[in-house]
Structures are given as structure tokens and as C-alpha cells.
Homo-oligomer: A and B are copies of this chain.
Amino acid sequence: MSVRIEDVATHAGVSTKTVSRVLNGNPSVRARLRTRIEASIRALNYVPNASARSLAGNRSYLVALLYDNPMSGSSYTMELIVGVLQACEGTPYNAVLHPFDAADDLAARIDGFVATHRPDALVLVPPHANNAALLQRLDELGVPYSTISSKLRQSRINVGFDERKAAAEIVAHLVALGHRRIGHVAGLQGHGARTWRLNGYRDALRKAGIAYDESLVVDGDFAFASGMAGARTLLDRPRPPTAIFAANDDMACGVMREAYARGLSIPGDLSVCGFDDTPASRLISPGLTTVHQPCRELGRVAVESVLQSIRDGAPPAPERVPYQVQWRASAAVPRNP
């Protein structure tokens, strides 16, 4: 059908094994020979057959991304996927995507998945990244994996960013603008993101000498509706906050909806901040001040780290990628501090 390794070997006047060595970056090939073989590969436009390679080498060259079944078009997952694909580019590896419902017992179903796809490595995102039983099973199966934003120590390779510091930075900015009563709509229990962002909020208050007022913190679940509900509770307080920091953008949008429903203007009557920098945070009016969650970077680094650990044997230390705060118009000096 097409060009095979044998054709390259003939063209270069060597054995197929030597071509194979070049293909796999085996260092024990003389430089001159390597150059000649590489020239033949280009000349014949040779591309190795992935199936034959996997079969003979007992490797799939597959990296599987396990994520939660995104109910709505989740830009988080999309960006992650983009990063994962970027990391695979230029390597012999390919990505396999697999949405898994968080409600399912993944620790039990993972065996079937691994048997079917035989991935060389896995990348897990929350909530799966926080599933201790799942990680343990993967350890038992001997499948290398990396996690993204996991809160478990158990994960040998984890990538994330300093969500706590980022949240503190947002809240410190609100303080600097003159806000003293700052509300917080917290994220879903069990997610690292909830704890880190809430802690960042508290850090900034403490640093500013503002007493923590638990009546200004309400629970949310990262969904729009819970942001609305949270704002309702906070704005009904005898002394309502002049600013609300929501643990993610979807909830911040809910806060804005509720504020508008009460005839409040943003940021005049109420400053609002979010977290994630989803597309909606740019599209909504006014633009939402938020933390850019570096999803692509996270996906890219997660893949690179786990592949490196396969190559080099030693698992690399957990990684931290940089983040950035997006200052937009939704936060301003309070009208009535």
C-alpha cells in the first residue's frame, strides 16, 4: 500500500532494525548513518504505521484524558483538550478523550477502559483527580498518570496553579478600591478549588486587617443558579456587601443577574469578581474581573510531565504553572462604602 520501513532500509542501504533505531531515537547509531537514514525517510516520505509499531512495541502511544461528562459546553474541558493535543503534537503520542460520569464508580470501571485502550499514560482532571480509590487502582495496574488540580497528596505528578494566591490577589484589589464588606460565594464542597479560593479570600482579608465575617460567605456549587441564590442571601443581609467575589465565573454571572433584578448597577452599586476567565466573562457587560485559569498550560504540562516520567523513570516534582488576573470593568470604587 505505502512506503514501509523496509523500503527506507533498502534506500539507505541498511537493515530495517537500524532504521527502527533512528525512528525511536536510539543513540547507538553513528551520526553519519543517522543522517543518511533521515534523508531517506524524507525522500520516500515515509511515515511509520502506528498499529504495527504499537503491536510490536507493546505500547499504544496513547495518552488518555479522563474528564467529567460536561453537561454544558465547558470551555474548561475544551481548553484542556487543546493543551493536551498541543503536547502530543510532534510526538508519536496521540490523545484519547474519555468523558466519564463522576457519578459512576470509575475506580471499578477503569480496568475495562485500560484493557480496551491500553493507554501508555492517563491524565485526570477534577473530580476524577480527587478520586483516591481511582488513583490507587491505577497505581495497582501500573498505569502512569498525572493529575490536574488534584487536592490529593497521593498523586505523584500533579499540575496546578496557585489558586489561593490568585484569589487573594482579586480580593486584595477589591480592598484597595475601598471595599470593606466583601461577600464570597464559595464553590462546591469536595473540590480543591473551593478550599483554595476560599482560603485566598480569607488571606486577603486578614492581610488587610478586616475581620472575617461568616455571614458574608455562602455556599455555591459552581453553577449559575447557585450564584443567583448566593447573591440573594448576601444582598438580603442587614448590611449587604459592596462587592462579591464568586468562586467561579458562572456563579459571578448569577450574582450579576440577581443584582440587576434588584435594580443595582454594576460596578456602581456592587462590584463583582469571578474566577476562571471563561468566554462569558469577556462577553458579559460589564466585563468581569477574574483570574485566567491557564487550562491549556495545565493540559500541556500534565501530558509532558507524565510522558517525561515514562521516558526518564523518575517522576518529576509537582508543577505550578503561572496564572494571570484579568482586570475588567465589573470591579470599581464603591459608591457608598
On A, residues with C-beta under 8 Å from B are 1-2, 45, 47, 49-55, 58, 60, 70, 72-79, 81-82, 85, 94-99, 112, 115-118, 224, 249-250, 253-254, 256-257, 260, 278-280, 282-286, 295
21 chain-A/chain-B pairs, Cβ below 8 angstroms: A47-B112, A47-B116, A50-B54, A50-B60, A50-B118, A51-B60, A55-B55, A70-B78, A73-B279, A75-B78, A75-B279, A77-B78, A78-B78, A81-B97, A82-B99, A94-B96, A249-B283, A253-B284, A253-B285, A280-B280, A284-B285
Contact B52 A282 (CB under 8 A): no
CB of A228, distance to nearest CB on chain B (Å)? 10
Contacts of A282 in B (CB 8 A): 72, 224
B51, A55: Cβ atoms under 8 Å? yes
Label chain A's interface by main secondary structure. Answer: helix
Complex contacts, A115 vs chain B, CB 8 Å: 2, 45, 47
**With the chains together, A116 CA to B76 CA distance in Å?**
29
Q: Could you tell me if B280 and A1 are in contact, using CB atoms closer than 8 angstroms?
A: no
Contacts of A1 in B (CB 8 A): 58
A285 to B2, CA, bound (A): 57
Whether A49 and B45, one on each chain, are in contact in the complex, defined by CB atoms closer than 8 angstroms, is no
Question: In the complex the two chains form, what is the Cα distance from A70 to B79 in whole Å?
Answer: 9
Interface contact A85-B73, CB-CB below 8 Å:
no
CA distance A260 to B267 in the complex (A): 13
Q: Given the complex of chains A and B, what is the CA–CA distance between A77 and B58 in angstroms?
A: 33
B contact residues around A280 at 8 Å (CB): 279-280, 283-284
The 8 Å CB contact of A73, one of B58, B254, B278, is: B278
Q: Which residues of B contact A76 (CB under 8 A)?
A: 73
Sample of 7 more A-B contacts, CB < 8 Å, known A49-B55, A78-B81: A50-B51, A51-B54, A51-B55, A82-B99, A94-B96, A253-B284, A280-B283
Which residue on chain B has the smallest CB distance to residue A2?
B115
B70 and A85 form a contact (CB under 8 A): no
Closest to A251 in B: B283
Determine the residue in chain B with the shortest Cβ distance to A283.
B253
State whether A73 and B70 are in contact (beta carbons under 8 Å apart), knowing that A50-B117, A81-B97, A115-B45 are contacts in the complex. no
Instruction: Specify which chain B residues have a CB less than 8 angstroms from the CB of A81 in the assembled complex.
Output: 78, 81, 97
